Amino acid sequence: MTLVPPTGLVNTDRARTLYGHAGDTWIAAMWRADDLADAVVAERGSAALIRPALADGIGSLAEAPPALVALFDSIEREPDWLDHDRCDRAADALVRHFPAMAIVLAAASLLRGAGNSIAGKPLALTGRYSTMPGVRSVEVGEWLRRVLTPGGMRRDGAGFAYTVRVRMIHAHVRAHLLRSGIWEHDAWGVPIPQPYMAFTLAEFGHIAIEAMGTLGVRFTADELDDIYHLWRYVGHVIGMDDDLNPRNEADHRRIEELYRLTSPGPDAYDREFVTALNADYLIPEFANTMSLPQRWRVPIATAVMEGYERVFLGDADADALGIRHRRIARLLPRLSGVMQLISRGQIRRAGGLDEFTRRAYADRDTEMARMRAAYAMTHDMVDTAPDRASV
């Protein structure tokens, strides 16, 4: 186990002292990426065969390169612990609260990630997200829509295929950055290392769940277990090593803590990213939901969104990202109970949970179609985007 940390990390000795073996693993894994996916990118002709192999199976290829065979052997062998029914129940539970989830994935999860300048280097150096953040967010939404669909993570499900595509996007970005000569290996570790992949799962898992609680969302214990089970399997397919792939809430919390503890904090790019995300995506989208005179929408949406961001992040982290103080932030957590009552009323008016869930899926898909049109998207994810040079 390599215990020499990247020089850009901070508090590494403290991480080892506080977290023992987990801290050692976190630091060592900064040098670990995804050998199987990286080998596919390195092997001539393999990457172009990913989509056909996902659609028709590796056996459909006349000649499957060895690296591609190894990757598919890994992803097509389902782990013994996997329960697809639990994944489907998790999708139902999350989609029932899609509006809240859509808000927190940007205003809580993405911004929590932005507090670490090393983790943000691949985005900064490839120019992704600080330009056209709406399009980038819809790309993530297109992946998430496939994952959060009954059967989506089965071998023939779209969520499975899209997750493998995300895995390959990561591998292409790693290869691009390493070829470019601009990646500072000793300071930053490998591009998109295992610890930051684990943190991404926490962004969709515990960070989102906790922030959704501020918006009045309450999951049962069984629903939470199912949700963490789903993200564990997503982690397996996306290339997580078992020792860092989070299994439960405790694992998610520990990953968040290690991420923050060893982070050097945000830099100018991260603050620029937050400004662009708010100005070009979050605030306009939120303003469009308001039944208010046009002149009031953006000012009110700005105050409320920045207020929630301060609630989700805490004042110190919000200050570091340049998010303005908003007096309304003190009031917002008190609305949680009201929002919970509204949610219960919506379920009753729908005639019960099953019908409410069916409508939630339909509403989610309608909203994603609206957003694709609003941002003039003709592709689904970044690997088919017109500006995909680095992937």
Task: Give the integer Cα–Cα distance in Å for 160 and 381.
Answer: 14
Query: What average pLDDT score do residues 134-147 get?
Result: 95
SS3 for 45-72 is CCHHHHHHHHHHCHHHCCCCCHHHHHHH
**Number of domains composing the chain:** 1
- Residue 166: inside a domain, yes or no? yes
Mean pLDDT for all residues in the chain:
95
Question: Do 283 and 289 touch, CB atoms closer than 8 A?
Answer: no
Q: Is the residue at 40 inside a domain?
A: no
391 has a pLDDT exceeding 60 = no
Question: Cβ distance 192 to 27 under 8 Å?
Answer: no
User: Which residues make Cβ contacts (< 8 Å) with residue 130, sequence separation at least 6?
Assistant: 123, 124, 269, 272, 273, 276
Contact 163, 378 (CB under 8 A): no
User: Residue 112: its pLDDT value, please?
Assistant: 98
Looking at the predicted structure, is the pLDDT value of residue 2 above 60? no
Question: Model confidence at 338, in pLDDT bands (50, 70, 90)?
Answer: confident
Average pLDDT value for residue range 277-295: 93
Q: If we measure between CA atoms, which residue out of 295, 273, 238, 319 comes closest to residue 71? A: 238
Write down the pLDDT at residue 386.
80
Q: Residue 346 falls within a domain, yes or no? A: yes
Q: Is residue 297 part of a domain?
A: yes
Is the pLDDT confidence value at 100 over 90? yes
Range of the domain at 357: 12-31+78-384
Coil, strand, or helix at residue 128? strand
Q: State the Cα–Cα distance between residues 77 and 85, nearest whole angstrom.
A: 17
Q: Which token pair is 256? A: 């968040």
For 249-278, how does the pLDDT look when each residue is reduced to its tens digit (9 = 90+)? 999 999 999 999 999 999 999 999 999 999
User: Would 292 be classed as within a structural domain?
Assistant: yes
pLDDT in tens, 149-190: 999 999 999 999 999 999 999 999 999 999 999 999 999 999
